[in-house]
Amino acid sequence: MRKLKLQVQMTIDAYIGGTNGEMDWLTFDWDNELKNYATALTESVDCIILGRKLAEGFISYWASHPELEGADKINELKKVVFTKTLDQSKWDNTVLAQGELVEEITSLKQKNGKDLIVYGGGSFVSSLVKHGLIDEYHLFINPTAIGKGLPIFEELDGKQALLLVKSTAFACGIVVLHYELKRNA
């Protein structure tokens, strides 16, 4: 079965955005090793999963910046946007998922192909976390604390056990924590 991987930028105090979604705390001067890590992660997938709110800016940003490193890969990957408000996709290479989250993700995981990736979106990722749908976490911890912001773990009803696969510190100050969800055998 395919895995759903989360790649997300976070502050050291576990927020993915400021209280109004601000991203002014991000470290942008990635070193080559971190760029290679992100590229390898993207190469391991063939589909991007997005909530509608993030999709609005994410898809159009990458489509309008083809000169950016990795833009060609992001633009060519199939995208599935979860929405309750859109009736049809306005983006190329994108389909809408309007059904129940757990069923839709489970169906996508059961299809043939490479793994799936989700890049963020506070409430959408929180729902994925809550339902135990994320198989791998790739948390890009930026060397900044902001005190308040958008969390992704606050909807958990109970403990969710993770297994640390690897932690890597990069010269730019970002530490990537790679976890897998511990499933009951």
* Domain range list for the chain: 4-181
Where residue 120 falls (left for φ over 0; alpha for ψ -120 to 50; beta otherwise) is left
Whose CA is closest to 20, among 169, 109, 88, 122?
Answer: 122
Q: Cα–Cα distance between 72 and 81 in angstroms, integer? A: 19
Number of Cβ within 10 Å of residue 127's Cβ equals 18
Q: Which pTM was predicted? A: 0.93
Res 57: pLDDT: 84
Res 185: pLDDT: 55
CB 107 within 8 A of CB 65: no
Which amino acid is residue 162, in one-letter code? Answer: L
DSSP-derived 3-state class of residue 75: helix
Q: CA distances (Å), 169 to each of 35, 144, 165, in order?
A: 13, 14, 14
φ/ψ of 75, rounded to 5, equals -70, -30
* Neighbouring residues of 139: CB distance < 8 A, sequence distance ≥ 6: 6, 8, 10, 176, 177, 178, 179
pLDDT per residue rounded down to tens, the chain (185 residues): 999 999 999 999 999 999 998 999 999 999 999 999 999 999 999 999 998 888 888 888 888 888 888 888 888 999 999 998 888 888 888 999 989 999 999 999 999 999 999 987 888 999 999 999 999 999 999 999 999 999 999 999 889 999 999 999 999 999 999 999 998 75
- Counting Cα atoms < 13 Å in the Cβ hemisphere of 84 gives 3
CATH architecture group of domain 4-181 = 3-Layer(aba) Sandwich (3.40)
Q: Cα–Cα distance between 142 and 161 in angstroms, integer? A: 23
The pair of structure tokens assigned to 103 is 């069923």
